[in-house]
Amino acid sequence: MANMFALILAIATLVTGIIWCFERFRWAPARRAKIAAVNAQTAGTIDQETLAKVGKQPGWVETGSSVFPVLLLVFVVRSFIYEPFQIPSGSMMPTLLIGDFILVEKFAYGIKDPITQTTLIKTGQPKRGDIAVFKYPLDTRLDYIKRVIGLPGDRVTYDPLNKQVTIWPTCSNGQPCDEALAVTYSDMRPSDFVQMFSRGGTGESSSGFFQIPLNENAPLGGIRLGERDETLGTVTHRILNVPGAQDQLGAYKRQPGQQLAEWVVPAGHYFMMGDNRDNSADSRYWGFVPERNLVGKATGIWMSFEKQEGEWPTGVRLSRIGGIH
């Protein structure tokens, strides 16, 4: 969908740009010349209304010419500088909430062709701990957002019981180092987020996330989530867990030659995880993100609406506008 919009925007900009060029360098000068000729033939006695009809600009030319500068500005900003995205799910809570509208820095990981996503100019690479938007590897029509956990060459393991990540980064010889990266966790504490569950014909399913003060009990059908700080090297952020929840180990992506819940990130790829660890479909389940799929780095929240997944907004969270922490 995003690529289709980019294609439509590019075509609209091109078409209106051609109209603008013809109008500026050919059609407008021809009309002025025609008006001057009529003036000369009538010795300047022709009235202005008739003269205006002689040099009248077609409506479609006027519209195309006036729209082109706006489309060009939108195309350049959206394709190469910043692009807005909406957070549709709770997989990045508590860092990003459903209803947050974020700005993604498109040039953070390279200047790319907006249609084919081919890198034209390299400007940087993802760092461990970045929040990155990327094309979902299994369906590039979809945009996903997760946190960068593993860099190319890293060996990443995930303990589904303690729900902790261990990373062995790449050493100078190109192989995973014997010494793991310093990944630390604070003690688990109650979060002010409560996840609601409902029962249906196929079992229990999540029906939304709500912020409920710690001094209030979770409503019937709700589970108060646990929260702790995760530090990846020098980057610290909060993560959520569902108390007592167990990962679907059978659904983990099994990498040939590696044990279950262990992955070695291939060259030119990245390992991504959501901050809401028990509510995130990420690299644990579908694998690695190729560098060519990277769209950009999330840098700020420009608007935030109170809402649940698939529902209409019920309010505005002005306090969330600003940088992403």
Which stretch of 36-45, 97-106, 161-170, 273-282 has the lowest confidence by average pLDDT?
36-45
* Residue 200 pLDDT grade (very low, low, confident, very high; cuts 50, 70, 90): low
Torsion angle of the four alpha carbons 232, 238, 243, 246, in this order, in degrees rounded to the nearest 10: -40
Type and span of the H or E element at 145:
strand 143-150
Render the burial of 93-113: b for 16+ CB within 10 Å, e for the rest: bbbbbbbbbbbbbbbbbbebe
Q: Is the distance from CB of 301 to CB of 102 less than 8 angstroms?
A: yes
Decide if pLDDT at 202 tops 60: no
Q: Which pLDDT band, with edges at 50, 70 and 90, does 248 fall under?
A: confident
DSSP per residue, 210-273: EE--TTSPPPTTEEEEEEEEEEETTEEEEEEE-TT----GGGS---TTS-TTEEEPPTTEEEEE
**Does the bond joining 94 to the residue before it have cis omega, within 30 degrees of 0?**
yes
- DSSP state letter for 78: I
Highest mean pLDDT among 5-9, 36-40, 228-232: 228-232
* Number of neighbours of residue 54 by Cβ within 10 angstroms: 13
Which residues have a Cβ under 8 Å from the Cβ of 172 and sit 6 or more positions away? none
> Could you say which DSSP state residue 123 is in?
-
Rounded to whole angstroms, the Cα distance separating 284 from 248 reads: 10
- pLDDT given for residue 173 in this prediction: 67
CA distances from 320 to 112, 139, 244, 303, 323 (A): 30, 31, 30, 8, 8
Q: Return the DSSP state at 276.
A: B
Cβ-Cβ contacts under 8 Å for 116 (sequence gap 6 or more): none
Query: Active-site residue numbers?
Result: 91, 146
Q: Which residues contact 251 (CB under 8 A, 6 or more apart)?
A: 285
Mean pLDDT of 17-45: 85
**Above 60 in pLDDT, residue 1?**
no
Q: How many angstroms separate the CA atoms of 267 and 207, rounded?
A: 38
**The predicted structure's pLDDT at residue 205:** 67
Q: Could you tell me which residue, 167 or 38, shows the higher pLDDT?
A: 167
pLDDT tens, 122-148? Answer: 999 999 999 999 999 999 989 999 999
Whether the per-residue pLDDT at 204 is higher than 60: the answer is: no
Residue 233 has pLDDT above 90, yes or no: no
Residue type, 163: K
Average pLDDT over residues 157-185: 85
DSSP 174: S
Centre a 10 Å sphere on the Cβ of residue 63 and count the other Cβ atoms it contains: 12
- Does 201 score more than 60 pLDDT? no
Write the CB contacts of 42 (distance below 8 Å, at least 6 apart in sequence).
none
Q: Which of 40-49, 242-251, 287-296 has the highest mean pLDDT?
A: 287-296
Which tokens go with 18?
A: 């051609």
Q: Which domains does the chain have, with CATH numbers?
A: 2-81 (no CATH), 87-323 (2.10.109.10)
User: Percent of the chain at pLDDT above 90?
Assistant: 68
Cα–Cα distance measured from residue 2 to residue 322, given in angstroms and rounded to the nearest whole number: 24
Give residues with Cβ within 8 angstroms of 8, minimum separation 6. Answer: none
Whether the predicted pLDDT of 78 surpasses 70: yes
Query: Rounded to 10 degrees, what is the CA torsion of 240, 189, 98, 231?
Result: -50
Residue 72 reports pLDDT greater than 90: yes
Q: Which two tokens stand for residue 304?
A: 């935030």
What would the mean pLDDT of 308-313 be, rounded to a whole number?
89
Prediction pTM value? 0.85
Average pLDDT, rounded, for the chain: 90
| 158 has a pLDDT exceeding 90 | yes
Residue 99 pLDDT > 80: yes
